[in-house]
Structure 1
Amino acid sequence: MIKPKEKSRFRVKKHLKKVLKRGTPEKPRLCVYRSLNNIYVQFIDDLNNKTLFTVSNLSKEVKEKIQGHLTKIELSKLVGKVAAEIALSKGFTTGIFDRNGFRYHGRIQALADGLREGGFKI
């Protein structure tokens, strides 16, 4: 049986997929997933049903830039900055932010702020 909290999150997620514009090869959809300890962002081209690339706090690009102990929010911001660097190097300057049913608060907001600070437009 699905818990009420999960049920409402699935409903929001389903609604967002209908309402959101689809990602294109020029303007990908940035799908964010937040687990208890990690955060992931995928750049998705919905027209071709392809994941262009993915970045998380487990990626080697992010691990190279970690200095000392970071809180989860600081780590999320760093993931956003690294994702922006990779996206800009691959020629993407803008995208559609899909928070995937998560509230725009805390780590999700920090990731978006990191993307913006890195020069990526949401």
Structure 2
Amino acid sequence: MLKPFDRKAKRLKRHLAIRRRISGTATAPRLAVFVSGKHAYAQIIDDEHSRTLVSASTTEREIKEALKGKTWNKAAARHIGKEIGKRAIEMGITKVVFDRGGFLYHGRIKEIADGARESGLKF
């Protein structure tokens, strides 16, 4: 009998492989991203102290209002990237390590990264 294809398990396996190689430090924290069917999330994490330094998501009221409720498209993802970049720069974070969370670097994941770069973050 064939095993059913489990997309989530494959993504988690890729994410663990990525996490073995990269880690956020105080000088270059990790920019972790996640996209669901309806929303996009980004957070900057210092793995040495297990602390989230900055976060942004399309579930936040002011971001959702700015996007006029369309939280699932590429424009929303780019907006999240710009917002996380702006918040990071305000906290004095300029350099990050990008963690794509096991997703392909394509579509909304790429838009978040490009938006963060536009804000001034260096990968």
Structure 1 CA distance for aligned equivalents of residues 49 and 72 of structure 2? 36
Match of 1:8? 10
Query: How many residue pairs align between the two structures?
Result: 121
Structure 1 CA distance for aligned equivalents of residues 6 and 72 of structure 2? 29
Match of 2:29? 28
Structure 1 CA distance for aligned equivalents of residues 103 and 70 of structure 2? 25
Backbone CA RMSD of aligned residues:
2.1
Tell me, what secondary structure is at the counterpart of 2:41? strand
Name which of structure 1's ranges 48-57 and 86-95 shifts more when overlaid on structure 2: 48-57
The share of aligned pairs that are identical, in percent, is 35
- The answer to whether the Cα contact below 8 Å between 1:61 and 1:82 also exists between their aligned partners in 2 is no
State the TM-score, normalized to the length of structure 1: 0.87
Where structure 1 has 5 or more consecutive residues not aligned to the other structure, the ranges are none
Where structure 2 has 5 or more consecutive residues not aligned to the other structure, the ranges are none
Structure 1 CA distance for aligned equivalents of residues 31 and 72 of structure 2? 23
Structure 1 CA distance for aligned equivalents of residues 65 and 91 of structure 2? 20
- The answer to whether the Cα contact below 8 Å between 1:43 and 1:51 also exists between their aligned partners in 2 is yes
Tell me, what secondary structure is at the counterpart of 2:53? strand
Change in CA separation of 1:60 and 1:46 when aligned onto 2, cut-off 3 Å = same
State the TM-score, normalized to the length of structure 2: 0.87
Structure 1 CA distance for aligned equivalents of residues 69 and 12 of structure 2? 36
- State the one-letter code of the partner of 1:40: Y
TM-aligned CA deviation for residue 62 of structure 1: 2.4
